[in-house]
Structure 1
């Protein structure tokens, strides 16, 4: 049997705020097979984005293990996590997180350069053309619409050909038409590159495009909802 590409076992996440420690996630156990698209749904505050951050090593579990491609993210230091993400993961956020002083081409090429790709700019241009921005390579984020900026963010995430693609409410800042276009592109890139996709969304119709849906309630996997999918 093939090992899952992502495997979480008894994962908890506790954050400390002004009011003291707050337990965000409670004993999450979850396996994700390679190539699967998984939709994480649930109300605001249910822990969806926190779970995604744990999967990407962007947040560190308080207890339990988070395995990605056979590597335990919970024992890696920040430099090791950054290298692992650069080699194996692409992340798309609700906020585009583009570098404002760089063109679209430079935004996509920079992580490729950091990863040692000699064809960084050629590959970045190809990815931008794949998301319909061939005419916008030299434009800066401020010169582009929200939908165009999210396309740049998608191209940046997909260009390194990641094994795992993490998307946190990627349509949250977009109108309906742009949001639908971004989702079409996201699933198209997933299919083209064979990545495993983890999608956090409030929108049930978007989650239903995934192979599998997992619901969260109050930081726990909603067993009743998962069984009903």
Structure 2
């Protein structure tokens, strides 16, 4: 069966004129302005731009972690802007993995318990077996019973990666995943992130300041003052 090369695949993630305003001390603050962007399945998209340009906010809107104030956000054919908090939480649990700069591990849980948590929340009976296998995949099987405070930053980020990927998400969002790591650990985490993406076929969307990281993405979008810059906007429209 031959596919039609001219047929455009349905985007896995689509933003139409999405905006975000948050209430600050002096009233509403406009963070994102009219972002229109499609991401195709299996693509790796880098989000770059100066601090305060809206990169992390755009990532949060894509994942339904922040509700867009205007416009539409569709993921896997579903309208995230029409969902309430509970529906969004379930959607993220079933379809998305998120990796933050600051790990966000639960300090009172072991590495194994941290990785098993999303599976337990989803009612998976084999949560701990799958979590142990995922820790092995990131090279930390021997650290399963250690708590976050007993691990280095690089090890903690590996645990966070295992937790984000243990549910086999269709979409993986990463916000400066190497931002708190030294160059050696950062490079190791990036290799691991791309390797896991390839292994599981996830769509990866990543905020980064690192040029060498952006260079590994299929496409790079630059933000400036909460807008796609003109070059990036033209590329996104083509």
The answer to whether the superposition gives a TM-score over 0.5 is yes
Structure 2, unaligned runs of 5 or more: 1-7
Match for residue 77 of structure 1 among 76, 81, 84: 84
How far, CA to CA, are the matches of 1:188 and 1:223 in structure 2? 32
Question: Aligned in 2, Cα 1:137/1:173: closer, same or farther, shift over 3 Å?
Answer: same
Is the partner of 2:28 in helix, strand or coil? strand
Question: How far 1:21 moved relative to its partner?
Answer: 1.1
CA deviation map 1:66-90 (0-9, x unaligned): 0000111111010000000000000
> Aligned pair 1:11/2:18, yes or no?
yes
Structure 1 outlier segments of 4+, above 2 Å: 225-229
Match for residue 63 of structure 2 among 33, 56, 62: 56
Equivalent residues in 2 for 1:185-196, closer than 5 Å: 185-196=192-203
Match for residue 35 of structure 2 among 9, 28, 43: 28
> Aligned pair 1:177/2:184, yes or no?
yes
Taking structure 1 as the reference length, the TM-score comes to 0.97
Aligned-residue Cα RMSD (Å) equals 1.2
> Aligned pair 1:151/2:158, yes or no?
yes
Q: Is the 8 A contact 1:28 1:220 kept in 2?
A: yes
**Partner residue, 1:133:** 140
Question: How far 1:116 moved relative to its partner?
Answer: 2.1
Q: Is the 8 A contact 1:41 1:200 kept in 2?
A: yes
Single out whichever of 202-211 and 138-147 deviates more from structure 2: 202-211
Structure 1, unaligned runs of 5 or more: none
**Partner residue, 1:210:** 217
Question: How far 1:225 moved relative to its partner?
Answer: 4.6
Q: Is the 8 A contact 1:35 1:195 kept in 2?
A: yes
Q: Is the 8 A contact 1:12 1:24 kept in 2?
A: yes
Question: How far 1:186 moved relative to its partner?
Answer: 0.6
Question: How far 1:164 moved relative to its partner?
Answer: 0.2
Is the partner of 1:12 in helix, strand or coil? strand
How far, CA to CA, are the matches of 2:23 and 2:166 in structure 1? 36
> Aligned pair 1:96/2:73, yes or no?
no
How far, CA to CA, are the matches of 1:228 and 1:197 in structure 2? 18
Taking structure 2 as the reference length, the TM-score comes to 0.94
